[in-house]
Amino acid sequence: MAATTYKHYHDEECDIKHLVESHFSAGSVSIREESMAEPTKRLHKVFSSGLVKGDSLLVMSVGAMVYPLFSASNVFSNIYVMDTTDASVKHFKQWLEKGDEATDWSDASKLVCQLEGNPDAWKEKEEQARRAVKGVFKYNLVDGCCNLSVVVPPVDCVLIAYHFNVSCKTKEDFKNSLKTFTSWLKIGGHLVLFIALNMTFYRVGHCKFTALTVDEKFVREEVTNAGFTIEKEEIIPTSIENDLVNYKNFFFLIAQKERNV
């Protein structure tokens, strides 16, 4: 397939393992530093500060990534992982079950343990995260529903990491997805959001994939419109130029749910 042919996250041509490893895990060091290491450092600060707390967490990330769980599992004993493709759910379960094809997330677990002052405890950290996972589910964006083998209860925190960049085709999709995924969130609970700003494409192998292009103003307004009060926000600047992904900056945001909409 020509590199100029644009595909979408939900297409079969999207190799989830390759996507995750090239952009977040075992790929370019410069990409990994911005897309994995910097968010990991911020999640460590958030979850160790006591600002975001509770018992239950719902995570939606590209390819059902694992790295957000290492710091989160220090706080949340019940973690539910959700994605919009069968391949992503399978990819996460491979790590959960220690399968031969699982992505190696030890760089992330070692980083978290280093931040916590116990660098040799990374294997225990990964087991802690595995124990905290109480379910892995697929959400059907087209039908607006998900078939859950168990009922996900209202949660104390919803963490969304870059997923709207790849799963949403329009800004209206963003609005609807934000309201849907945060509908699981209790009043008073927190949304933790990472999103790439002004992103136009990303590459997986020889294919280019479309991305939803949003700016800081749009994201802030839609989070507020969804019933949240923003408590913390930060722009994480990019320092790379490459043909693997095109974006301007990362936007990190924490908001508290004030009302249902």
**CATH code where residue 25 lies:** 3.40.50.150
pLDDT of amino acid 1: 38
What is the number of domains present in the chain?
1
| Rounded Cα gap, residues 86 and 75, in angstroms | 28
pLDDT of amino acid 223: 98
| Rounded Cα gap, residues 61 and 160, in angstroms | 6
Q: How far apart are the first and last CA of the chain?
A: 43
Q: In this structure, is the dihedral angle defined by the CA atoms of residues 85, 245, 42 and 165, taken in order, positive or negative?
A: negative
Sort strands 201-204 and 207-210 into parallel, antiparallel or unpaired. Answer: antiparallel
Residue that is written with structure tokens 């910097």 in the block = 38
Bridge-partner residues for 157, per DSSP?
57, 190
Please calculate the CA angle 191-195-198 and round it to the nearest 5 degrees: 145
- Counting every residue written for the chain, the total comes to 261
User: Is position 117 within any domain?
Assistant: yes
User: Is position 107 within any domain?
Assistant: yes
Positions in the chain short of pLDDT 70: 1-5, 26-29, 141-151
pLDDT for 186-208, tens place per residue? 999 999 999 999 999 999 988 89
Kindly report the pTM of this predicted structure. Answer: 0.93
Residue 228: how many CA atoms within 13 Å on its side-chain side? 27
Sort strands 78-83 and 56-61 into parallel, antiparallel or unpaired. Answer: parallel
Domain that holds residue 209: 6-257
User: Is position 167 within any domain?
Assistant: yes
| Rounded Cα gap, residues 17 and 30, in angstroms | 19
Residue 48, classed as helix, strand or coil, is helix
pLDDT of amino acid 219: 98
Among residues 185, 174, 169, the alpha carbon closest in space to that of 220 is found at 174
User: Is position 1 within any domain?
Assistant: no
Q: What single-letter amino acid sits at 52? A: V
pLDDT of amino acid 3: 46
Among residues 124, 92, 112, 121, the alpha carbon closest in space to that of 40 is found at 112
Q: What share of the chain is helix, strand, coil (3-state, %, to 5)?
A: 40, 30, 35
pLDDT for 8-41, tens place per residue? 999 877 899 999 998 988 666 678 888 899 999 9
| Rounded Cα gap, residues 29 and 24, in angstroms | 9
Residue 86 has phi, psi (to 5 degrees) of -60, -40
User: Is position 40 within any domain?
Assistant: yes
**What's the DSSP call for residue 259?**
-
User: Is position 27 within any domain?
Assistant: yes
